[in-house]
């Protein structure tokens, strides 16, 4: 059985995941506006992933027989500076999400909520990947530079990214 405290925390995480989606959509739009369609594509894939994350939480709460309570989503920034500044902001945001997921795991352990703890392990692994991807792009930007051919090569690489929803996630990605 899931506690009210856990339900409230999971509903809060839905809001954070939805904010993440809005943030990455804003970064996608910004990238498009400055002529970097590859960065725009990469951030749009991030948007799709964050929406998937929110839906997984939504469906988990429903599966536990609890009530989903959606909250207002804060408006994200619209300007992000250079590509390096934008990716550093992305990494900072993902670190915030990692801390939030870790707090949820700590709560699940404290409450001896083994089902929620198991559910959250997917997110732990996902956050390792998210931060690693951000760091890899930041490293490339530092190496190649943010102007000229190096930036355009990175932009071309990011244009190749596609959204691949996980196939091994039972029922949590479908709306009921």
pLDDT in tens, 130-139: 999 999 999 9
Answer yes or no: is 167 within a domain. no
Q: Are 53 and 17 in contact (CB under 8 A)?
A: yes
DSSP for 72-108, written as a single string = PPPPPPS---SHHHHHHHHHHHHHHHHHHHHHHHHHH
Q: Which of 126, 127, 157 is nearest to 139 (CA)?
A: 157
Query: Which CATH number belongs to the domain containing residue 22 in this structure?
Result: 1.20.1260.10
Answer yes or no: is 171 within a domain. no
Specify the pTM.
0.92
Residue 50 lies in domain: 4-159
pLDDT in tens, 84-100: 999 999 999 999 999 99
């Amino acid at each position: 059985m899931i506690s009210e405290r856990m339900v409230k925390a999971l509903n809060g995480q839905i809001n954070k995941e939805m904010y993440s989606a809005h943030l990455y959509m804003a970064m996608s739009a910004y990238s498009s506006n400055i002529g970097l369609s590859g960065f725009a594509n990469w951030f749009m894939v991030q948007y799709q992933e964050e929406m998937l994350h929110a839906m997984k939480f939504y469906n988990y709460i429903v599966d536990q027989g609890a009530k989903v309570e959606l909250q207002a989503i804060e408006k994200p920034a619209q300007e992000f500076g250079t590509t390096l500044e934008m990716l550093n902001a992305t990494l900072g945001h993902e670190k915030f999400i990692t801390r939030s997921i870790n707090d949820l795991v700590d709560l699940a352990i404290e409450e001896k909520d083994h089902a929620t703890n198991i559910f959250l392990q997917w997110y732990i692994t996902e956050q390792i990947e998210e931060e690693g991807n951000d760091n890899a792009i930041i490293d490339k930007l530092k190496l190649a530079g943010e102007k000229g051919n190096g930036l355009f090569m990175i932009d071309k690489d990011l244009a190749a990214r596609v959204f691949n929803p996980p196939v091994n996630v039972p029922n949590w990605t479908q709306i009921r």
